[in-house]
Structure 1
């Protein structure tokens, strides 16, 4: 049985990223013995998932409007979906859903402003900006990956921590840096198959700017640096040693690096590397969260 067109449009499997981001930020707070708020945890989870749905739907809508969706070759991880191109879902309806989920996500943010603290406002504003303007603006300025790393990486982890602790601290920031790299790289590797179509449509991302070979080197450098960051943070006392369990994802990361370095211009051969990349992203986040939770009992 084929998946629901709406599940395809919202890119349902990718919403797991939002879940592990909130789990990580919450786990850092639990490790620091902050009183746990179930309500704030659930609202943060719902809010981030809604914003993630919004960016996925709006990205597909703007790709449809620009014509990119007709040019890209589809993989399970890149190229978008055809539900707007083939008329299965009305584009105007999709746009409305994108705006609606964005609005509800913002309302949850307002709840947190009033009940936890206005210090969260800059994070939410940057997140909202990244959601709506990623495809029509940011992806054409060469900064799309960086903002994706913020909007679906560092900022959600910091936000999930803040709604529990009511403040920010350096340890939470250190724990959120791998999220920036992982989400940045998630987007980066998935841009390889779409580079030619994206260039025709006026996009300017890292793969187009550096070329596929150099972009593969850059991707690999960032991924290796991310693991070194985790080890360094443990050595310097910013993260507890159980988070080193995240190093279990290294084999998957190496598979992704191999694809980025050697199969960057091969459509079919790159797909396993894209899969390994997704597994690395989800695995590192989940295991970092587990590490913090384990450390809270030690």
Structure 2
């Protein structure tokens, strides 16, 4: 039972975000020949990083008592695995540490064998993994952008560079898409947890600056993602067919309407949170497909 609970703490349904980010990085690089061994290593590192973040979050939320305060939704409030099985907590922590070790070893190997510029990206990624739950969540602006930096920069750009892409203006512009959308993913998922998070000392963006400003930030980031795609097409840096990736951004608009209407109660209306998740996955997936 403890093993099942610890496995549940990795939050498997949400781990699809890492492969999507790797796929976008691969498509940005567009290597002439795909090295499957390299792809597998990058994919393992990305998924391990996501598992490490999730399990550290689950473990510390259990230890601080936050799990007992949050109202679980399909998309926020944690998995609920550890409150129902306290004995799984040490194993969950072990999974978190082991996953971070795996990320570190693969990252070091890639920096040594493939591209030395991957080292600083990897260092940033490991710092984010280790500090997100216990420290970053107490700093609203860092908490706002950390998810986008972790997935949109470290995973997407790291994957692209591992496959031979250079850090040029075109690629930097494309990073705005996953950066903005992943930030929005976590931002909206914080809405249902504001009361519980505040009780344990977290200072997420909605807690410190309120829902109105959070709505504006969410909308701005959705516009940033859309604008990056439009500008890249206008400059002929990506094909005109990439405009199709704007369609799922409409889901972000739908999610924003739900946020404005329900605020902290949005968790009672999970279709809006689901739309936010769908936009985060479908926009980079469709963008990568058209590159």
The two structures have a TM-score, normalised by structure 1, of 0.92
Which whole-Å CA distance do the structure 2 matches of 1:268 and 1:194 have between them? 9
| Counterpart for residue 123 of structure 2 | 125
Aligned pair 1:27/2:65, yes or no? Answer: no
Q: Tell me whether 1:109 sits opposite 2:107 in the alignment.
A: yes
Residue 194 of structure 2: aligned partner: 195
- CA deviation string 1:83-134 (max 9, x = no partner): 1112265211111110001101111111101111211111000100001100
Name the SS for the 2:127 alignment partner: helix
Give the CA deviation at 1:168: 2.6
1:77 aligns with 2:108: no
How many aligned positions are there?
Answer: 287
| Mapped contact 2:70–2:193 kept (Cα < 8 A) | yes
Unaligned runs of 5+ in 1: 293-298
Whether 2:181 is the aligned partner of 1:172: answer no
Hey, what's the Cα distance between the residues in 2 that align with 1:89 and 1:241? Answer: 54
- Contact 2:73–2:268, Cα closer than 8 Å, also in 1: no
CA shift, 1:47, in A, is 0.5
Superposed CA offset, 1:125-168 (max 9, x none): 01000011000001112212211110122221111111110643
What is residue 5 of structure 1 aligned with on the other side?
A: 5
Gaps spanning 5+ residues in structure 2: where? none
Q: 2:254 corresponds to which residue?
A: 255
Q: Distance in 2 between matches of 1:284 and 1:96?
A: 34
> Secondary structure of 1:147's partner?
helix
- Are residues 203 and 268 of structure 1, via their aligned partners in 2, closer, same or farther at CA, if it must alter by over 3 Å? closer
Aligned residue number for residue 16 of structure 1: 16
Residues 140, 202 of structure 1: 8 Å contact kept: yes
Q: For the residues of structure 2 that align with 1:258 and 1:133, how far apart are their CA atoms?
A: 32
How big is the alpha-carbon RMSD for the aligned residues of Structure 1 and Structure 2?
1.6
Counterpart residue number, 1:296: none
Give the alignment partner of residue 62 of structure 1, picking from 60, 63, 68: 60
Q: 1:35·1:165 contact (CA, 8 Å) conserved in 2?
A: no
Which residue in 2 is equivalent to 1:289? 288
CA distance in 1, matches of 2:167, 2:128: 21
Could you say which residue in structure 2 is the equivalent of 1:231?
Answer: 230
Give the deviation of 1:269 after TM superposition. 4.4
Deviation (angstroms), 1:43: 0.9
CA contact (8 A) 2:248 2:279 kept: yes
